[in-house]
Amino acid sequence: MPTHTVKFLPYDMQIDVEDGDTVIRAALEAGVHVNASCGGEGVCGKCRVLIEDGTVDGGTSEKLSVEDQDKGYCLACQAAVKSDLVVRIPVESTIDAGVLKMQAAPRRTAHIREMNFEELKEKGLFVAPVEKKYLELPAPTAQDNLPDITRLISYLQLEHDEHRLDVTLAMIRKIPQVIREDDFKVTATLVRPVRDVGKTRIINIQPGDTSEQSYAIAMDIGTTTIYGQVIDLISGDVLAEHGEFNGQISYGEDVISRIVYAEKPGGLAKINEVVIATINKILTRIIKRSGVNQENISTITLAGNTTMTQLLLAVDPRSIRRAPYVPAATLYPPMKASDLGMELDDHVAALVYPAVSSYVGGDIVAGVMGSGIYRSEALTLYLDVGTNAEIVIGNKDWLACAACSAGPAFEGGGLKFGMRAAKGAIEDFSIDPTTFEPMIITIGNVRPKGICGSGLIIMAAVMFEMGIINNLGKFDRDLDTPRIREDHGIYEYVLAWQDETQIDRDITLTEIDIENLIRAKGAIYSGCMTLLTEVGMSIAEIEHIILAGGFGSYVDLEKAMTIGLLPELDTEKVTFIGNGSLMGARMSSLTNRIRRDVVEVTKKMTNFELSDTISYMDNYVAALFLPHTDMNQFPKIKSRLETRRKMNQI
């Protein structure tokens, strides 16, 4: 994909974008404000810009006057960048250069780190958990009438130097027919022990040579969404991936309400059945999509939080939600997938990620394994933000972890116009420093329906830096704009007027929404602080941040630091690994090294119950400001705010 440089005037800012990106997204990335209210649908006509040089595709609109069109104006949200461009933003009022410089910082999302199978191999971390061996066995004779299974084992020893082999009843049931199907030519599937003292288990036998077809399933059992992948164990590639809402949602949105349901008579069986149904739906989809023969799938690795894991395995979760929060187990033996109700062949082993405690589950452990934090020299903060936020701080020598309830704000929940990060959600935002008019971009570039979590962070950060809200998240009551108003005693900012929306109502951001956000980010930041306090370190010592979870892929890092959600760090030092739980499950599917290390890692992971940790409440209260009561922890925003204050005093 070619890239083009887009230069914005009069701000004199430029950015490289991919061919075909819209001009308005380029502006956003560059931190340049363009008025826009319709989310990018092209109906408000406010985002008119002048293409002074270069070529765009599209962007003409009846919303533009013929005169404007003749001059070279177009709608920034409809114009696709096709070459290097020089774009002039019409500035309605005379503004001085200082204001121009006070544009929001360019958008910075985290670098995405993909798992690299070759790197695993290079680092000596690859220990194949499943191998298939092809054999051409001699047919039995009167002089050599070994039992079928003994024949197989003997030749695995003789020709492949395999020892300490174990078999399953299912194997014995299959072998008489299979071994004779292609004249004693067979492929055996071997599952390696996690530890060297264990035995290699022969879990399957197939006629002919299928040694090149070896697959596994990795699955993340999220409270909200379950994701599955089909993995090629030879190339390491993901052949298919699919996510579905966890069917348990109908029985409660969060883990607590699920536990409550499971405590009812028959509840556990029901809620277990429902999650297995979702898993089977995903399995059917991804296996079909990948085109693999189901018989060549050997393992399924599942990671989920402690409650999801217990519900998946039909283990009574009631003591997870009651002090002192005791899970039934944190380490599970290997199981048969079919015993758990999964529609996979009888030989498929199900491996469940171990947990640390009731609220630091297998999903986080998987993230720790998948992200490599447990092998890292650098002090790293690992953050998985969903309804619950899980925090891990540490490196290869120690790992401290905690879970805190961030509330649903980061998922768009609990806001007046909150919504999930779906089509129509305002995901990007900027504001004109003089007119206070907004620039609104929605997911899918359609008229807005609501606000999602990442959008909320950006709005709060931009408004705070512009002085539209103060460090308590309250609107400046003196600003001269119809967009800030009081409704039933609550101040709010109108993001989009009724006729610009899909919902026929004004979409607003309220002080209560901002308060929710401050509490959520305060919980997370103070969680990090508390962990550091407990291990005798400071936030300044963090060298690396790893973000996981759907949230992390969209979050504007600079903005997250502006509001005090993340500690200030060079954005280059923040990486995003996507679904950490799924990544960990995938890595465990690919190498036994991860499965071998994981038990040691869970032992190394010291769990802190924040509610029982004395410093937590102090840290929490201190974090209920934008960005924080102790501004010295946020030197960059502190300096930017000081610059602004000085300029305002001029």
Binding site for a second copy (CB under 8 A): 140-142, 144-150, 166-169, 172-173, 175-177, 180, 197, 313-319, 323-333, 335, 339, 357-358, 609, 612
Measured over the CA atoms of residue 11, residue 16, residue 22 and residue 28, the dihedral's sign is: negative
Q: Using the minimum distance from each CB to a second copy, give the nearer residue, 319 or 405.
A: 319
- How far apart are CB 199 and a second copy at their closest, in Å? 10
The secondary structure of 587-609, three-state, reads HHHHCHHHHHHHHHHHHHEEECC
Q: How far is the CB of 264 from a second copy (least distance, A)?
A: 15
In the complex with a second copy, the residue whose CB is nearer, 262 or 524, is 262
Least distance to a second copy, CB of residue 211, Å:
23
384: three-class secondary structure by DSSP: strand
Q: Which residue, 199 or 288, has its beta carbon nearer to a second copy?
A: 199
Of 66 and 142, nearer to a second copy (C-beta) is 142
* Residue 599 identity: V
Nearer to a second copy, 87 or 135 (CB): 135
Of the pair 330, 388, the CB lying nearest a second copy is at 330
Gap between the terminal Cα atoms of the chain: 46
Side chain identity at residue 322, one-letter code = R
Q: Residues 6 or more apart from 616 whose CB is under 8 A from it? A: 526, 527, 530, 610
CB of 412 to a second copy, least distance (A): 33
In angstroms, give the least distance from the CB of 326 to a second copy: 5
- Nearest-approach distance from CB 252 to a second copy, in angstroms: 19
- Give the separation between CA 576 and CA 574, rounded to whole angstroms: 7
Compute the least distance from the CB of residue 164 to a second copy, in Å: 10
71 C-beta neighbours (distance < 10 Å), count: 11
The interaxial angle of helices 148-160 and 169-181, nearest 10 deg, is 80
Phi–psi pair at 101, nearest 5 degrees: -75, -15
Cα dihedral sign for 261, 267, 270, 275? positive
Closer by beta carbon to a second copy, 333 or else 489? 333
| Spatial contact of 580 and 370, defined as CB atoms under 8 Å apart | yes
Q: How far is CA 465 from CA 310, 376, 438, in A?
A: 45, 35, 15
Smallest distance, a second copy to C-beta of residue 588, A: 18
Residue 291 or 333 having the CB closest to a second copy: 333
Dist CA 392 CA 632 (whole Å): 23
